[in-house]
Chain A
Amino acid sequence: MISRRPEEFGDEELVTSAQQGERQAFEVLVERYKQRAYHIAFGFTRDREDAKDLSQEAFLHAFSHLKTFDRRSGFYTWFYRILVNLCLDFRRRKGRVSWESLDEKTEKGNGLEKIPNPGPSPDQAAMSGEISTRISAALATLPPKQRAIFLLKNNQGLSIGEIAAVMKSAEGTIKAHLHRAVMALRERLTELA
């Protein structure tokens, strides 16, 4: 019999092992999803430390509630739900980041300018640094649910069906929120052109 390394197991097998008390199996899930979890959280917080704390908190929450995971959805859908709820809660706790406060934060050298440029396309390269900052500010002004849906679609590439499962909403609702988010961003950003 060929023994496989834990990294080669699928989510379901890892979840089963973790539910039976194998910590190592859960750590493999953490390694598998930590970057995606971090990037979702970063989309909400725009702060590296906050994003790290939030994503780790989501893993801890998943670990402590793993026995209640009923497998009606995939592990990542369940985990994303936990993470998105924590992110929405974080936004509620911190309050909405206002357009002005975010600009101020950036000017003081404490915010978005520390994000490295991911290697822009010609279109992106044409945009000034100010416009990039404004994009982040415009994102911050979206209502939390719209923002969550937009980030899951635009940044994470989840399908409408997957987002609907994560957000526990109908696909039609997700489509409508995504549409509204895109239109709001477009309007905000055109104001700056």
Chain B
Amino acid sequence: MAERQELTGACKNFEQDLVLYYYQDCSRAEQQQVEAHLEGCPSCRVFLEELKSLLPATVKPDEPTPAFWQNYSREMRGKLDKQESHGWAGAILSLFRPWPVPAVATAMILAIAVTLTFTKGRWTTETHPSPELVEMASNADFFESIDFLDSMDLLESVEGHDAQKSEPASHPL
């Protein structure tokens, strides 16, 4: 197992600046500030040297052959052709792909629900009753009284029938 090498610690306040200084991505003033600090700080100088040896080694570009790039461009043109040919047809067909169907259905249900909620009461038409209905309604009491009389007749007949049945039993022996 490899033995762990001690890391050279840079000044914490300058670490980030040193990284940016290495990449030459800092302002002129920041650059001067870092350089002034480096003059008097050996540990930061070592840190910077480490970055200089470490970071270029992390760039490992893959350099494909010219044939790869020709093939890349050819494939790309083919894919662009395919995408273009889909054009309008694709846009229309996309409506029938799995996700738009439930989405459209949900939207329709929501629209119906909202419509019914906000238009509640407006859908019932305020119709005036026809004169025939008014007349029928006024005769309702008459029909109710007839029903009542019919009920009375029925009760009387039932009572009369019961009285006939119970008469012989009322005579003493």
Contacts and interface: CB of A to CB of B under 8 A. Distances in A.
A88 to B, nearest CB: 19
A193 B58 contact: no
Interface in B57-86: 57-64, 68-69, 72-73, 75-77, 79-80, 83-84
Range class of the B interface residue count: 35 or more
Given A60-B79, A124-B56, A155-B59, A176 B16 contact: yes
B128 interface: no
Instruction: Specify the main secondary structure of chain A where it touches its partner.
Output: helix
A175 B20 contact: yes
Given A118-B59, A135-B57, A179-B16, A48 B64 contact: yes
B15 A186 contact: no
B25 interface: yes
A116 B60 CA distance: 8
Contacts of B20: 160, 175, 178
Interface string A28-47: 00110011001100100000
A23 B16 contact: no
A185 B57 CA distance: 11
A187 B150 CA distance: 107
Given A27-B80, A64-B83, A116 B62 contact: yes
Instruction: Specify the main secondary structure of chain B where it touches its partner.
Output: helix
Contacts of A170: none
B23 interface: yes
A136 interface: yes
B60 to A, nearest CB: 5
Contact of B60 (A31, A132, A193): A132
B58 A185 contact: yes
Given A136-B60, A176-B16, A179-B15, A60 B7 contact: no
Interface in A123-178: 123-124, 127, 131-132, 135-136, 139, 153-155, 159-160, 175-176, 178
Interface of B: 2, 4-5, 7, 15-16, 19-20, 23, 25, 50-64, 68-69, 72-73, 75-77, 79-80, 83-84
5 contacts: A52-B72, A56-B72, A118-B60, A123-B53, A160-B20
Interface of A: 23, 26-27, 30-31, 34-35, 38-39, 42, 48, 51-52, 56, 59-60, 63-64, 112, 115-116, 118, 120-121, 123-124, 127, 131-132, 135-136, 139, 153-155, 159-160, 175-176, 178-179, 182-183, 185-187, 189-193
